[in-house]
Amino acid sequence: MLDTREADLPYVDLLSLIGETNRCPGGKRTVMSIARRLGIGRDTRVLEIGSNTGFTSTELVKITGCTAVGVDVNPAAVAQSEMMRKSLVDSIGDRMRFHVADAASLPFEDGSFDVIVCGGANTFIQEREAAFHEYARVLRPYGFVSITNLFYRREPDQQLRDALRDVLGFTVPALGINEWLEILAPAAWELYDLKRSELAVRPDHVLDAYVAELCSPERLGHVDDEQRRQISAQWHRVMSVFNRNNAHLGFMELTLRKQEPGDEEQPELFLMPGVYDPHFEKAFVGMNDR
């Protein structure tokens, strides 16, 4: 049992103890958006990079009947995903698998997948160029990569940045959407679509109720009352920092398409307001002047 009496737990240990579901930004609504946007159906072969505990793969299989494979470098996360998979009805669980694997060296044959989905894992991959090369290798011609990633709409002040560093154990880069696109949309890929959303700041009473639910005796019955009180207090501090940070955050739904030799897309002139122009302005198209 973890000793929570002397000091705060490291963030990763706290997450493991509480067992919070690891979701991509926007949760199941984003997963539904990915499925609709990329036309994922029963015959679609999906690879999830950084599958963690398997939320996105599971949701995609539940709503589309696709087949999904999740990979993660963390063996404990993969073990948890496989345990969850085996608890599902066969019609769902049999259509997914999870493996320990590195995105820069994927254990799959060329052209094995139609779609690759990824949350924030690409931001932590050290060999990112090698990873994108692997994505292109294992995708069919004109296959898609969907990346959901947080970005800063405006920079947080130093006090909030320090608070984030203290609860996470590392410094979060305060990068905006254009800076992330430089990292996550390599020139060899077609930037097919880009959408952006904001995150809501929840009121105090919702935050309090959320912490009470996740730290309830029913969920944390394996620790004594004093430990649970300390865990609950730490979780409340962490979630309060995250909630404040949401006032500065948005998230992108970036869709890349694999290009084939000789492809050269002709740029578009007439785009709808709010659509990202990847060719000329490198920005979202504004409303027409009246």
pLDDT at position 21 is 87
- Residues sharing a CB contact under 8 Å with residue 137, sequence separation 6 or more, in sequence order: 106, 110
What is the token pair recorded at 236? 């409340």
> Could you give the angle at the alpha carbon of 121 between the alpha carbons of 120 and 127, nearest 5°?
135
pLDDT at position 43 is 98
> Can you name the residues that pair with 150 across neighbouring β-strands?
251
Whether residue 108 has pLDDT greater than 60: yes
Band of the pLDDT at 16, cuts 50, 70, 90? confident
pLDDT at position 7 is 66
d(CA 273, CA 286): 5
* Burial class of residue 222 (count of CB atoms within 10 Å of its CB; 0-12, 13-18, 19+): exposed
Phi, psi of 33 (to 5 degrees): -60, -40
* 112: nearest Cα among 137, 93, 131, 94: 137
Q: What percent of the chain has pLDDT over 90?
A: 83
- Residues sharing a CB contact under 8 Å with residue 220, sequence separation 6 or more, in sequence order: 17, 18, 228, 231
Model confidence pLDDT, tens digit, residues 31-71: 999 999 999 999 999 999 999 989 999 999 999 999 999 99
What is the token pair recorded at 234? 């730490």
pLDDT at position 289 is 55
In the chain, the N- to C-terminal Cα span, in Å, equals 65
Q: What percent of the chain has pLDDT over 70?
A: 97
pLDDT at position 5 is 41
Question: For 67-96, b where at least 16 C-beta lie within 10 A, e where not — what string?
Answer: bbbbbbeeeebbebbbebbeebeeeebebb
* 113: nearest Cα among 45, 193, 37: 45
* Burial class of residue 50 (count of CB atoms within 10 Å of its CB; 0-12, 13-18, 19+): buried
Question: Are the CB atoms for 145 and 122 separated by under 8 Å?
Answer: no
Whether residue 172 has pLDDT greater than 90: no
What element of type H or E holds 145? strand 139-152
Band of the pLDDT at 248, cuts 50, 70, 90? very high
User: Following DSSP, what letter does each residue of 197-259 receive, concatenated?
Assistant: EE-PPPPHHHHHHHHHHHTSTTTSTTS-HHHHHHHHHHHHHHHHHHHHHGGGEEEEEEEEEE-
